[in-house]
Amino acid sequence: MQEMGRKTVTLVLGGVRSGKSRWALERAAKAERVAYVATAQPLDPEMVEKVRRHREERPSHWHTFEEPLELGRVIAEHAAAFDVMLIDCMTIFVANLQGAANADSIFAARRIEDFLRALRTPQSSVVLVSNEVGSGVVPPYPAGRKFRDALGELNQRVAAVADNVVLLVAGIPLVLKETIGARS
């Protein structure tokens, strides 16, 4: 993997409890100025607890943005102030978009395009965490299949833009894509 001094986009994929967030945190911690972009909204007791645990795991000097829908805007407006922006996670981002968009697919499509545009010209390195959904079972209900398909498509589109793609399996990182001499 490349040194954190270069502006790179790294997509970190994995299943539930694969170690992807921990690996991304360790990667980002090598930088001095880090922004953590949280997409989760603590709407129930379980998520409140998960958010609390995640906050405790992060260094206190990191800046946190809580943004469920406008990832492109956050990257475009704030990346220049940081060495690394860690976005955790795209899985929740897609769920948030689907919930907010309701029947308006243009709403989600615009936010995804803004997000991808910001990733193409980042002013800092960006590390993105997402669940790999291509190895799971087919959900038995339409909303589940729509979500799986939307996340799988976004993962593919981000991977195409990314300099590096890493898959975590049982805590072990497997490099799927590595670009030498990426953005400087």
| 24 SS3 class | helix
Structure tokens at 142: 């339409």
H/E element, 106: helix 105-120
The amino acid at residue 93 is: F
From residue 183, give the alpha-carbon distance in Å to each of 43, 52, 101, 146. 38, 34, 33, 34
Q: Catalytic residue numbers?
A: 54
Q: How many CB atoms lie within 10 A of CB 161?
A: 17
Measured CA to CA, the distance from residue 86 to residue 130 in angstroms comes to 11
Would you say 54 and 105 are in contact if contact means Cβ atoms under 8 Å apart? no
Q: Cα–Cα distance between 176 and 133 in angstroms, integer?
A: 16
